[in-house]
A = this chain, B = another copy of it.
Amino acid sequence: MRIAVVPGDGIGQEVVPAALPVLTLLDEAYGLGITHDVLDWGADTWLRTGVGLPEGAIERLTKEYGAVLLGALGDPRIPDMAHGREILLGMRRGLDLYVNHRPVTLPTGVIDIFRENTQGLYVGVGGTVPQGGRTGVAIDECVYTRETVEKFVRYCLGRLRDTGRTKVTLVHKANAVPNTGRLWQEVFRRELEDFPGLEGSEEYVDAFCYHLVRDPSPYQGVLASNLFGDIVSDIGAALMGGLGLAASASICPETGIGLFEPVHGSAPDIAGRGIANPYATVMSLAMLLEHAGHGAPAALLRRCLDEAARGEAATPDLGGKGTTRSFMDAVLALLERG
């Protein structure tokens, strides 16, 4: 299997290179047969050539690669993140990565947040109506097809069942956003019938956010549309102790291709100082390995990462006294000891 590695911008340029030796080490130790190519997509390329996602990139990724490992996108020179949207939303759509999985690890357990990643308010349908030379009316459409909601819900419920979960919550807003809201409710209820081991519940997004902040412990699996998943998973990251810890996988279950990336941004304020926390990137790499069927090295990597995160070598945001480098040295040393 070949992996496309996109460090991207800011601290992406630090945490991704820091994570790669882990891949090499595990590849050798376990004979995984994984190779990787580093691609220079990001702000510098965009500013130099005007290209975010190169022509033919989707086809190349589909044919030649099994997964993408992405660092972060975002650069102060491009305030509207046009390049980031082209690359990120381009891959989500182009590779049909309709499942975005963001595990939220808390002392009380893990909440698997699944976000639909390709439709909803992100479809880019809408426009503006001019009035006296300016925008008089602005419209953004939230669009969902039954097919997408069905395959998303079915996949997530299967994942939850297969990982031994017993409870799943649909986050929606059918009381105010009725058409898409009811489609989600209808599909959720119908698909749940095929998963007798899963107890389903439904919550309005506002009430869900309230409950999540007050007490996240009752939740196991959460299914949400694109926008609600975006919001809810960031709240999850806050509860986890920060974006520095949050990893994510965007996958297309049919083709198997996946995009693995930390939830955090490019953090221009700390970029270049060698203190960026590589935890979320390495955790994303563990998700990649797991997704590729390499459960044993993924589990080992998680254990070593968590142990190193508790030590002095970890970065300051984790309470350590170290740097990106010392943190990863500690991870590698633990991995070598197995």
Chain A residues with a Cβ under 8 A of chain B:
80-81, 85, 89, 121-122, 124, 126-128, 131, 134-147, 173-183, 186, 205-207, 209-211, 213-214, 227, 230-231, 233-235, 237-239, 242-243
Contact = CB atoms under 8 A, between A and B. Distances in A.
A239 B213 contact: yes
**8 interchain residue pairs of minimum CB distance:** A213-B238, A138-B183, A138-B179, A206-B234, A210-B234, A138-B180, A140-B142, A140-B177
A234 B235 CA distance: 12
A180 B139 contact: yes
Contacts of A175: 80-81, 85
Contacts of A137: 143-146
A167 B2 CA distance: 49
A133 to B, nearest CB: 11
Given A139-B180, A146-B137, A213 B210 contact: no
Nearest to A147: B136
Given A135-B183, A139-B179, A141-B140, A174 B122 contact: no
Contacts of A243: 210
A136 B145 CA distance: 6
